[in-house]
Amino acid sequence: MRHALLFSVFVIASCGLAYELIAGALASYLLGDSVTQFSTVIGTYLFAMGAGSWLSKYITRDLIGRFIQIELMVGLLGGFSAIGLFLVFTWLPGPFQLVLYLVVFGVGVLVGLEIPLVMRILKRELAFKDLVSQVLTFDYLGALAVSILFPLVLAPQIGMVRTGLLFGLLNVGVALWALHLFRDQLPAPRWLATQSWTVFGLLLAGFAGAGQLTTLAESHLYSDEIVYAETTPYQRIVVTRWRDDLRLFLNNNLQFSSHDEYRYHEALVHPGLASLPGAKRVLVLGGGDGLAVREVLKYPSVEAVTVVDLDPAMTELFSAAPPLVALNAASLKSERVKVVNADALQWLEESREYFDFIVIDFPDPANFALGKLYTSAFYRLLEKRLSARGLVVVQSTSPLYARQSFWCVVTTLESIGFKTAPYHALVPSFGEWGFIIAGRQEFSIAAVDPEKTRFLTPETVPGLFAFPADMARLPAEVNQLNNQVLVRYFEAEWRKVIR
């Protein structure tokens, strides 16, 4: 019996941390700024656990029965937390954060009640010092197990919705096991059994229908038909279609529309590469959709293109799905292209190659994991991989909607000695969008080949480098690893636009 209860401690600790990780990850996916979301979720959860531990002193009778009911409640609330929060976000986005913290607080209180009750049940069999040491040991081991399994196996393989429901079932499993062990000591075992099997059935039905529940939620989140959706260890990938318009969303943020992506990718690649007629080696960081690579391959002088994208699911999708392969002109399958799935910063640290042209096509710096790829430290690594007369081009968010963020990237590039040439282009899906060409010498605008482009012409390119008054330069700090000021600028500016 003692060993069974100690194993139960391992399970309930695993479940409690799993619900906390699910809430933090889901909030990061939907709201951005992962540091803020995880910090506030963890803080709320730990406070709630303390409140639950304090409240446990008021449970004075039928400890085992109350423990079983608490397991059922935490299994039900925690198990359905992911899909519940997802549905709230899609249907009632206004109160989402309030609901999020209420759920986290509720789960935390229930988890805080569990361990004190287990200790009080076990105190008849163990001395106090053994009781505390063994219960806390199994508690911490359970937390360790889930902290490893969640990012490596659970979230990428079965998704957050099914992960929540799975741990809900484990909580109910603990309740049923306790019911079996202590059946003779319970005043109303049949009533507890009815409750347990009812909750088990609800969670099992939810687990079986998790795919349909997720599709239901996402069908309201995205206005168009979802043709592909996958949760990877790095992000949520969703592709939608309306008639002939394909759209890619990463973590609910639009990355491109097939109707106008050519404007973005032509502006990203051609002004810089057209000014390097002898460019042979090109590096594309990010850009796992192959669309920037498509534009690079239009230059016969380019002999080799290396694409470094963190998520293999992205490069595999855009190398295999026929509509997406047609969109990127099978660029990722070209003999001139080598695809590497790695963290760009780590790859740059280890690389010894030099490139004539480097395209940086990362998502916007919406969190600190992305913000590190816009820091002076990252650009110093980049500079070491650039040939003597090479150029870098950086997608740099909107100089209209996120004006200080845009000029922060310019300031950061200049802080390491790059000479910069900022410019912008209108992409209807995004609005005015910004780019920066950087190199060791002053940039000279060259004529683009109209045979290679649908949007840019020799006459229109010079106008991209002129900024109207409402996009003119603003003072901004250098974005460094230790301050990540760009993420704060970005969050503050886009929050105003969304409102």
| Structure-derived torsion over alpha carbons of residues 107, 110, 114, 116, reported in degrees to the nearest 10 | 120
- Give SS3 for 255: strand
Separation in Å, CA 488 to CA 175, 391, 396: 45, 28, 15
Nearest to 81 by CA among 55, 108, 48: 108
Residue type, position 26, single letter: L
| Structure-derived torsion over alpha carbons of residues 12, 18, 19, 21, reported in degrees to the nearest 10 | 150
Cα torsion 258, 264, 265, 266: sign? positive
Residue type, position 6, single letter: L
Q: What is the largest CA-CA distance in the chain?
A: 88
4 alpha carbon, distance to own chain's centre: 37
Distance of alpha carbon 322 from alpha carbon 299, whole angstroms: 24
Phi first, then psi: give them for residue 309, nearest 5 degrees: -130, 135
Residue type, position 137, single letter: T
Separation in Å, CA 442 to CA 112, 390, 396: 62, 11, 19
Distance of alpha carbon 435 from alpha carbon 52, whole angstroms: 51
Distance of alpha carbon 433 from alpha carbon 428, whole angstroms: 9
Q: What angle do CA 308, 443, 456 make, to 5 degrees?
A: 75
Task: Could you list the beta-strand ranges (E) of 202-319.
Answer: 225-231, 236-242, 245-250, 253-257, 281-286, 304-308
Q: The tokens 């429901």 sit on which residue? A: 165
Task: Specify whether 449 is catalytic.
Answer: no
Q: Catalytic residue among 309, 311, 361, 364, which? A: 361
405, two tokens:
């963020």
Distance of alpha carbon 121 from alpha carbon 402, whole angstroms: 57
Catalytic positions, please?
Answer: 361
